Each structure stands twice: as structure tokens, then as C-alpha cells.
Amino acid sequence: MNAEAITVENIPLIKPGDDIARVIAERAKLEEKDIIIISSTIVSKSENRIFSLDGIKVTGRAETIAKKNSNDPRFVQIVLDESEEVLLDSPFLLVRMKNGSICVNAGIDRSNVEGQENVLLLPEAPDESAGRIRDSLFKLTGKKVSVIITDTNGRAFRIGQTGAAIGITGIKPTRDWRGTKDLFGRVLEVKNEAVVDEIAGFGNFLMGEGNGGTPVVIIRGLNLYHESSGIKELIRPEREDVILRALRSQ
């Protein structure tokens, strides 16, 4: 197998209202079935998900949590406002968000955002953001592509962060091996590979985390195009999630 990964160069600082699809189409020659990996940071900026900590009204609950984990209470308040449920409040704030994803600080970033007091929230509906960008790319280029919106996330049990897919379109999130045979004829019973996270991980690696300015990566040569899909397929149903249950019962 031979796949190609290309970073899209010379992307400007993205501002609210910017058309991400146009920014990409003007800088890259897309091909049919390309996978376009886009950092959530620039999608959020284009959707004006920038909020200032100035003037945020802080509740008693946010004050208490902020003291426990030495955070800015206004930042904690914004995280709480984005969350459905707090699963851990120290030493870091682990929350379940409205779309079912579980992550630290509701994915709210202070890095790579202009303005000392500004924070950047994740896109409100990342699957829909991915879908809009894909539709615009089709209008602009005539090419059917897949889109994966990524964020850098920490992991349970292991040191270090990796890229994860938080919104997808035009690609099936998993490659299901169940029912197929291994090298020795044994039928695979569990393997359902989360391919969009694997691809997001490598895309995130090429983007970097600092001032590299490369928030878009194209992966070419994988045949994973699929019409309908959404990241919800990757969220484990609550009744099957023993770790979620353990966190709730502490």
C-alpha cells in the first residue's frame, strides 16, 4: 500500500467568518477521495467560538472547582457551561459534553488563540462543520472528499497526547474486522478498528502543536470514502461503558 500525506502551506491566521473550504481550495489541488484533516482550532476560529474571560460571571461551583485544581475560575465556568456532567474535578476537569464526548476542559484551548484573555471553544457541532466544509469543497473543486476535524487530546492510562477525530464526514469511522479470519483461521470477534482516530493521529503529528501554522493535512491514496457517517458512532453507549460507571461511582 502507498499513501501520501501533504501539509497545506501558507494558511493565514483564521478569523471569524473565514471560509475554511475556500482557504484550502486556493492552496491545494484536491483529488477525488482525498481525506482532508483540519484542526478544530481553525474551524472554531472561523465559527467565532472565541470567548473572552473578561466579564464572565462565576458561580460558587466554579469557584470551588477552580480552587481545587488551581485554575482560573472564569475558565472553569466556561468549561462547566459547555458540559453536561463533571466526571472528575481535580487534578483536572474531566467532563462529558453535550454531544457525548468526554474530554478534559471540554476541549477549550488557550494556545494558538490571539488575545491574553481569550479562549477557544470546540466547534458546536463538529460533524456538521465537517459536512459544511465538504459540501463547499465539492462546490469549489468538483471533488468528493472526506473531512476529519481533529483535536489534540490526552488519553487515559498513558502519558502524552494524540490527535483524535471529533467531527467527520464522508468516511466511516471504523473498519470492522469482526467475522473475518486471522492468519491461522481463527475468527476475529472484537476488532473494530477506529480508523478515523488513527488517521487523525498522524494528521495531528504533521500539524504540530506550536507555531508551525499547518492546521490542514491531506491524506491521499486510502480508499475509505463513504457517503454517510458521524463521530457519534464512536461514542460507547453509556450502559456498556464500565469506566464511565466507575467514574460516576467514586
Per-residue buried b or exposed e for 15-49, using 16+ beta carbons within 10 Å of the residue's own CB: eeebebbebbbeebebeebbbbbbbbbbbbbbbeb
- As measured in angstroms, the least distance from the Cβ of 104 to ligand GDP is 12
Answer for the pair 193, 177: CB distance below 8 angstroms, yes or no: yes
Cis ω on the peptide bond leading into residue 12 (within 30° of 0)?
Answer: no
3-state secondary structure of 27: coil
Q: Does 212 bind ligand GDP (CB under 6 A)?
A: yes
Residue nearest to Mn ion (CB): 152
| Rounded Cα gap, residues 183 and 125, in angstroms | 41
DSSP 240: G
Which of 118, 131, 129, 132 shows the shortest CA–CA distance to 151? 129
Nearer of residues 84 and 209 to Mn ion, judged by Cβ: 209
- As measured in angstroms, the least distance from the Cβ of 89 to ligand GDP is 22
Among 34, 82, 109, 127, binds ligand GDP (CB under 6 A): 109
3-state secondary structure of 130: helix
Q: Does 49 bind ligand GDP (CB under 6 A)?
A: no
Residue 68 neighbours by CB under 8 Å, 6+ apart: 89, 90
Q: Does 82 bind Mn ion (CB under 5 A)?
A: no
- As measured in angstroms, the least distance from the Cβ of 147 to ligand GDP is 14
Nearer of residues 105 and 152 to ligand GDP, judged by Cβ: 152
Among 118, 136, 174, 214, binds ligand GDP (CB under 6 A): 214
Nearer of residues 127 and 151 to ligand GDP, judged by Cβ: 151
Among 3, 13, 187, 243, binds ligand GDP (CB under 6 A): 13
Counting DSSP H helices and E strands in the chain, the numbers are 7, 12
- As measured in angstroms, the least distance from the Cβ of 151 to Mn ion is 4
Q: Does 7 bind ligand GDP (CB under 6 A)?
A: no
- As measured in angstroms, the least distance from the Cβ of 142 to Mn ion is 31
Q: What number of chain residues touch ligand GDP (CB under 6 A)?
A: 23
Binding mask 99-118 for Mn ion (x = CB under 5 A): ----------x---------
Which of 29, 49, 40 shows the shortest CA–CA distance to 215? 40
- As measured in angstroms, the least distance from the Cβ of 164 to ligand GDP is 9
DSSP 31: -
* Exposure of 145 in the CB half-sphere (CA atoms within 13 A): 31
Residue 104: strand pairing partners = 94
Where along the sequence are the contacts to ligand GDP (CB under 6 A)?
11, 13-14, 39-42, 45, 109, 111-112, 150-152, 207-215
